[in-house]
Amino acid sequence: FAPWEDATEKPLIQFKGVTKKFGDFVAIDNLSLDIYQKEFFALLGPSGCGKTTMMRMLAGFEAPTHGTILLAGQDIAPVPPNKRAVNMMFQSYALFPHLSVWDNIAFGLRREGQDKDAIAARVEEMLRLTRLSKFAKRKPHQISGGQRQRVALARSLAKAPKLLLLDEPLGALDAKLRQDTQFELMDIQEKTGTTFVIVTHDQEEAMTVASRVAVMDEGRVIQVATPSVIYEAPETVYVADFIGDVNIIQGRASQDADKVRIDWAEGQPPIIGTTQKTFSPSQTCHFAIRPEKVAISTEQPEAPNVLQGRVIDIAYLGNLSTYHVELPDGTMMKAQTANTRRLSRRDITWEDNVWLSFTDTAGVLLER
Ligand code: ATP
C-alpha cells in the first residue's frame, strides 16, 4: 500500500479548509489536502494558481485567513518559521558567497549551537549524500551550477527537517543537467526519507520526480493522484489538457450500458467510448485521447472509431513524430507514432489523406 491508500497512515501535512485572502483577492480557496511522510509531492498549475502561497504558508511566511494547517497532527499557526520542522530551498539557492561549501552546509547547525563534533559529523554526512566531499573547501563561485544546487540541498537537509519545500529547485540548470539532477533529487529524497514538496513549472519534471501530483487552478486543487493516474485517468478536461498533449472531442452523449456514443459534428461519425460513469441523454460529454493512442494510416483500418483527414503538419522529434491532421469539418487532431525504424520516403507526409483510428477504451469520457 502507498501511504495515501492506507487508512491507518496519518498524514504528515493536512490542509483543512484553508483559505488565503490578499485583501479581497482569494489566492487559496477553501482547500483541503493531505500529504504523507516520505512523499515527494508536486504542486502543479498555471502561474498565479497559488502554489507559492501554499509553500509560504507551510514555511510560516504567510498565515491562512481561514482554516488550519497541521504538521504531524499539530496546528502550525502558533509556531514561528524558525521553530517549524520545515525548510525551504529557493531557486536562487541563497548560498553565502564568502563561505566554503563546508561552512555553507554547517551554517544552520552552528546557529542552533550544536557542538563541534556533531556539526562536523553531520556536514560530512551531507557532503557524502550529495557527492560533494571533494568540493568541501571551495567557495560557491568555484563550483558548477549543478554542484551549487547540491550544496543548497545539503544545507537544507542538514538540520533534518521533517518537510523540505523546493521552489523551482532545478530552474537554474540547463535541460540535460536538469534531467540528471531530477534522478539525483529522487535518490536523495529516498535515502533521507524526508517529505519533499516541490513547485515546478515543468510538468514533465513533476511527473518524473513526484509520488503524487496536485493539479491546481485558481486557488483550488482539481485532482490529486499519482503521475500515471493524472495522465491516464484525468478527472476533468482541465487536468487532461494541463498535463501532456491531448485531443478533446466534445459532443452530446447517449449511453447504452458502459458504452457512450458521442455525436459531435455534422458529417462526422460518432465517437464510441467506454466508461463506468453515467451520462444523461444529450448531456455534454468530452472524449479525451492522447496523441500516442491515435493510430494513423494511409489505408482505412477496422476500428470502433475511424476519422478521415489530411496531414497539415508533422513535428519530427527523433524518437517520435507528431502528425497534425485536419478533419473535413476543420477539427484538428494529433496522432503520435514511435519512430522505431528509419523513416523512408514512403512514410506519411504533408497533404496525405489519412485515417485516424482508436479503440473505445483508448480515451476517457469526461463530463467537464
Ligand atoms: P507562479 O507560478 O507564477 O509563481 P503561483 O501559483 O506560485 O504562481 P502565487 O504566488 O501563490 O501563485 O500567487 C497566487 C495569487 O495570489 C496571484 O494572483 C498573486 O498575484 C496573489 N498574491 C500572492 N501574494 C500576494 C500578496 N502579498 N499580495 C497580494 N496578492 C498576492
Sequence-distant (6+) residues with CB within 8 A of 351 are: 310, 311, 312
Average pLDDT over residues 71-93: 90
User: pLDDT tens digits for 23-56?
Assistant: 999 999 999 999 999 999 999 999 999 999 999 9
Asked whether residue 95 carries a pLDDT value surpassing 70, the answer given is yes
Identify each DSSP E strand in 190-341 by its residue range. Answer: 195-199, 212-217, 220-225, 247-256, 259-263, 271-274, 284-289, 295-297, 305-316, 320-326, 332-338
Give Dmax (Cα) for the chain. Answer: 79
Is any ligand 1 atom within 6 A of the Cβ of residue 50? yes
Asked whether residue 302 carries a pLDDT value surpassing 80, the answer given is yes
The percent of residues above 70 in pLDDT, for the chain, comes to 100
Instruction: Yes or no: say if 151 and 143 are a contact pair by the CB < 8 Å rule.
Output: yes
The residues facing 237 across adjacent strands are: none
Asked whether residue 344 carries a pLDDT value surpassing 80, the answer given is no
The string of DSSP letters for 102-134 reads HHHHHHHHHHTT--HHHHHHHHHHHHHHTT-GG
Asked whether residue 202 carries a pLDDT value surpassing 90, the answer given is no
Average pLDDT over residues 237-257: 95
Cα–Cα distance measured from residue 127 to residue 109, given in angstroms and rounded to the nearest whole number: 14
- 32 Cα: distance to centroid of ligand 1 (angstroms): 19
- 315 Cα: distance to centroid of ligand 1 (angstroms): 35
User: pLDDT tens digits for 321-333?
Assistant: 999 999 999 999 9
User: Atom of ligand 1 at shortest distance to CA of 56?
Assistant: 11
Taking the CA atoms of 139, 144, 149 and 150 in sequence, report the sign of the dihedral they define. Answer: negative
Cα dihedral 201/204/206/212 (nearest 10): 140
Q: Supply the pLDDT for residue 345.
A: 67
Is any ligand 1 atom within 6 A of the Cβ of residue 200? no
Cell 489519412 -> residue:
354
Per-chain mean pLDDT for the chain: 94
Query: At 113, is the pLDDT very low, low, confident or very high (cuts 50, 70, 90)?
Result: confident
Is any ligand 1 atom within 6 A of the Cβ of residue 48? yes
Candidate from 81-90, 114-123, 237-246, 283-292 with smallest mean pLDDT: 81-90
Question: Which of 25, 200, 217, 218 to probe ligand 1 with, by most ligand atoms within 8 A of CB?
Answer: 25
Cell of 235: 478527472
The residues facing 28 across adjacent strands are: 20
The DSSP call for residue 149 is: H
Average pLDDT over residues 75-79: 94
Neighbouring C-beta atoms of residue 19, cutoff 10 Å: 15
Average pLDDT over residues 290-319: 95
Is any ligand 1 atom within 6 A of the Cβ of residue 53? yes
Q: Supply the pLDDT for residue 70.
A: 97
Cα–Cα distance measured from residue 29 to residue 40, given in angstroms and rounded to the nearest whole number: 23
This prediction's pTM: 0.92
Instruction: Yes or no: say if 324 and 332 are a contact pair by the CB < 8 Å rule.
Output: yes
Is any ligand 1 atom within 6 A of the Cβ of residue 52? yes
Query: At 112, is the pLDDT very low, low, confident or very high (cuts 50, 70, 90)?
Result: confident
Domains of the chain: 3-238 (3.40.50.300), 245-366 (2.40.50.140)
If we measure between CA atoms, which residue out of 226, 151, 157 comes closest to residue 193?
A: 157
Q: Supply the pLDDT for residue 172.
A: 80
* CA terminus-to-terminus distance, the chain: 31
Instruction: Yes or no: say if 215 and 223 are a contact pair by the CB < 8 Å rule.
Output: yes
Is any ligand 1 atom within 6 A of the Cβ of residue 46? no
Cα–Cα distance measured from residue 132 to residue 141, given in angstroms and rounded to the nearest whole number: 15
Q: Supply the pLDDT for residue 197.
A: 97
Atom 23, ligand 1: residue with shortest CA distance: 53
Segment (H or E) for 242: helix 237-242
